[in-house]
Amino acid sequence: MKQLIIIADMEGASGIFESNRAACWHEELHPDHTLWRTYGRKCITSDVLAVCNAALDSGIDDILLYDMHFAGCEEYNVELDKLPKQVRVFDLPKRSIFWSRIRGQAAIEPYGIITVGQHARNGEPNAYFPHTIHTPPLESFFVNGIHVAEIGESVMCFCDVPYIANIGCAASHKEALELSPNVTCVTVKDKSRGWEPTPDETYPLIYKSVKEAIADYDNKTSYPYQNNCKCELTLTEDYYFDVPESFPWKGRFEERKAFWETHDIETALSLFWQVHEYIKKR
């Protein structure tokens, strides 16, 4: 069985720009806005469907999808009823980012991982909605020297799994390439040249590029397993860490920084949310 892992975000989906940014605003948190339901969901669904169809037409027979945008909200961003029957989703309460549980539900050796709908990290130029997991309060998150946002967390969680393609904002590819230099990068919008195509225009581009990427599977590489993870989380200026008297992991805090160290990436990513608990606004 060839199992493909697809990790979908939304700020990097086709058809979503600053001019219609409400398309990203999940209805459960933004009940006064309708664009997410009437338009945004169609955009990310089109991109994910292009990936799924290309994968199935390339001999992949099992797809596990994690729809991570607005994790904590119940309803999926991707319209699951529009996807092929071979696509399953991870069993997570309200799509919560429980990386160990996500990794544990996948095959021991998945065939590959593809990230889609991806945006750039906080601070990247010429990017649509650049942010690091959520900015503010997060300015940056480094794991073993790589600035990690949604793409990095996903690919590191699936370390040793061939990273086949990243689909999203042109500025998002930098993070993908730092994790795996041979990953296929598919651009669906590019702020540096004002290229803002519709999802219908990018669908064939995504389909063709993913098919080519899978055909080039032997050249794809993975982010390698690390037996030591050094993490550094930095906050934006208006936030600080309310430092606890004691905590059960190896690490330390500064006013706007937290450091921690673990033996494996799943623990490092899980501790991220525990460290996160101590963030306070000035």
Residues contributing to the site for Zn ion (CB under 5 A): 9-11, 69
Cβ proximity to Zn ion: between 11 and 139 the closer is 11
Cβ proximity to Zn ion: between 172 and 234 the closer is 172
Question: Closest separation between CB of residue 69 and Zn ion, Å?
Answer: 4
Separation of alpha carbons 188 and 168, rounded Å: 5
How many other CB atoms are there within 10 angstroms of residue 231's CB atom?
21
Residue-wise over 112-137: b if at least 16 C-beta within 10 A, else e? Answer: bbbbbbbbbbbebeebbbbbbbebeb
Question: Closest separation between CB of residue 11 and Zn ion, Å?
Answer: 5
Separation of alpha carbons 94 and 155, rounded Å: 21
Ordered DSSP codes for 257-270:
EEEEEESSHHHHHH
Cβ proximity to Zn ion: between 10 and 229 the closer is 10
Question: Closest separation between CB of residue 168 and Zn ion, Å?
Answer: 11
Cβ proximity to Zn ion: between 26 and 220 the closer is 26
| Distance set, CA 47 to CA 31, 167, 274 (Å) | 25, 8, 33
Question: Closest separation between CB of residue 159 and Zn ion, Å?
Answer: 22
Question: Closest separation between CB of residue 119 and Zn ion, Å?
Answer: 7
ω into residue 137 within 30 of 0, thus cis? Answer: yes
Cβ proximity to Zn ion: between 74 and 160 the closer is 74
Question: Closest separation between CB of residue 256 and Zn ion, Å?
Answer: 24
Cβ proximity to Zn ion: between 26 and 103 the closer is 26
Helix, strand, coil in percent for the chain, rounding step 5: 35, 25, 40
